A = this chain, B = another copy of it.
Amino acid sequence: MKISILRLGHRKKRDVRVTTHCCLVARAFFANDVTFTGEFDESLEKTIKSVSKNWGGKFKIKYEQNWKKFLLSRKKIGDLLVHLTMYGKNFLDSLPEIQKLSKKRNILVIIGAEKVPGEVYRISDFNLSVTNQPHSEVAALAIFLNELQSRSPLKNAAQTHFKSAKIKIIPGQKGSKTS
């Protein structure tokens, strides 16, 4: 299973830090890549590429101007489209089905920034919520990716996943070290 993220409607000024957090969460929780739509943002791309270079792994970031075309093309090639929204059904109820389908299909997880167009709901295979309370797409993405992969991101994060890292943390109870 390959996991991709689609970050919709990025606004360069307003969303830069939240979108950065989304991308870093995607990487840390074992997604393969993120595509962002909305405003092009060179510095966002630079930041994420630099993290990937220093901390290892093969995480990619891409920009796409036309979200609808992108979404439909991914649907056409058989990706499973999972839209995270607080208006959706509890994701835990659909998780077993998604995990089963993911054995044969790649997953595209969709998260919005500004108000998400109604078409996204209609095109998506699943509209799912991580609680029905207003909180954060950053948190929703982390929780979903972790549970989707049976919590292996939490258990195996630094140890097994990110090859060719220039920076690694040596966890310590107090203080900090990197090498």
Contact = CB atoms under 8 A, between A and B. Distances in A.
A73 to B, nearest CB: 21
Contacts of A38: none
Copies of this chain, complex-wide, total: 2
A25 B142 CA distance: 12
Contacts of A174: 121-122, 127
Contacts of A139: 21, 25, 28-29, 138-139, 141-143
A24 interface: yes
Contacts of A87: 169, 171-172, 175-178
Interface stretch (A2-10, A62-70, A100-108, A152-160): A152-160
Given A87-B175, A174-B127, A176-B85, A135 B169 contact: no
A117 interface: no
Interface string A129-160: 11111111011111100100000011101100
| Chain A, interface residues (CB within 8 Å), range | 35 or more
A40 interface: no
B143 A130 contact: no
A28 B134 contact: yes
Interface in A90-110: 90, 92
Nearest to A165: B133
Contact of A158 (B133, B158, B169): B133
A86 B178 CA distance: 11
Given A21-B139, A29-B139, A129-B169, 16 more contacts: A15-B17, A21-B138, A25-B139, A28-B131, A29-B135, A51-B134, A87-B175, A88-B173, A126-B173, A131-B158, A133-B158, A133-B162, A138-B142, A139-B139, A139-B142, A143-B146
